[in-house]
């Protein structure tokens, strides 16, 4: 969908104007890589992990 900006970069001019940024008269738009993997480890914490499985008939929540 973003190819339209590559083919017609001038349609971005009003947006740049609202932001107060000068838009070049002759602009070129290029697609760049979208991989945002970081070279260093990134800590990720989650709030909850749920495991869903078949019920064994107990009413104790499936814990042993």
**Per-residue pLDDT, 53:** 80
Say if residues 56 and 62 touch (Cβ distance below 8 Å): yes
Tell me how crowded residue 40 is: count the other CB atoms within 10 A of its CB.
Answer: 4
Output the DSSP codes for the chain.
-THHHHH-GGGGHHHHHHHT----SS------------SS------S---------S-SSTT--
Binned at pLDDT 50, 70 and 90, residue 9 comes out as: confident
Q: What is the pLDDT of residues 19-62, one digit of tens each?
A: 998 888 888 888 777 777 878 887 888 888 778 787 776 655 55
Q: What is the pLDDT of residue 18?
A: 93
Give the pLDDT of residue 23: 84
């Amino acid at each position: 969908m973003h190819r339209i900006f590559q083919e017609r970069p001038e349609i971005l001019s009003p947006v740049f104007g609202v932001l107060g940024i000068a838009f070049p008269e002759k602009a070129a738009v290029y697609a760049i890589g979208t991989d945002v993997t970081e070279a260093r480890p990134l800590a990720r914490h989650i709030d909850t992990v749920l495991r869903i499985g078949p019920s064994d008939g107990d009413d104790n929540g499936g814990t042993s």
